[in-house]
Amino acid sequence: MALGSYIERRGELETYFDRTAADTWAKLTSDAPVSGIRATVRAGRDEMRNTLLSWLPADMTGTRLLDAGCGTGALSIEAARRGAKIVAIDLSPTLVAVARERLPDDIDPAAIDFRSGDMLDPELGEFDFVVAMDSLIHYLPHDICRMLATLASRTRQSMAVTFAPKTPLLTLMHFVGGFFPRADRAPAIEPISEKTLRGLVAEDPLLAQWQPGRTHRVSSGFYTSQALEMVRR
């Protein structure tokens, strides 16, 4: 995997989510009151999380799941209730600390291994399932494909990921964001059409044993994201 643009963007994301936006993100992923705009984002994320969970088995006893970009841990908690053993990793140590603090009493702490670091770290081992909710959306298309290939090499059953679909609104937001001073910008979302992503996947020899499965788009106010399932042939 070529590392240049991936490492650069990973560093920007770590700084943003661990420092600039940590408090905002912790509040957004709680049940605290938020503005109308952020409420639409919260609702969209809830729908997306439920979609990805619906693509996982109802009984996950004996399986191992990677929650790649776990944030404050909501998806990991639900997977643990199904019996999975989870490695929940995020670039932000601050958000991982919040996830640990929010672990409900009905979840065995040993069921979820919360870590801060790189989701592609080979030391994480192999998994039956991988979920990456809104953790690939800031990367360039060719980096997304390489990240999928890296995760696929360590996954036995399926991956469920999301990407930013190339809609007129997201394209406009991406364009306008480029005019803000760099210090004031959040890391850019990189819209990609489903056709382009499927083409990149089909052309990658490292993904030859994989194919797209289910897909689902969530649009809720200022939140737009598309889920894509990858399954073994």
User: So what's the pLDDT on residue 226?
Assistant: 98
Parent domain of 159: 4-232
User: So what's the pLDDT on residue 19?
Assistant: 87
Strand partners, 192: 165
CATH number at residue 107: 3.40.50.150
User: So what's the pLDDT on residue 167?
Assistant: 81
> Which stretches of the chain score pLDDT less than 50?
176-177, 179-185
Does residue 65 come out as left (phi exceeding 0), alpha (psi in the -120 to 50 range) or beta? beta
Residue bearing tokens 């044993």: 209
**Number of folded domains in the chain?**
1
Tens digits of per-residue pLDDT, 115-135? 999 999 999 999 999 999 999
Indicate the pTM of the whole model. 0.93
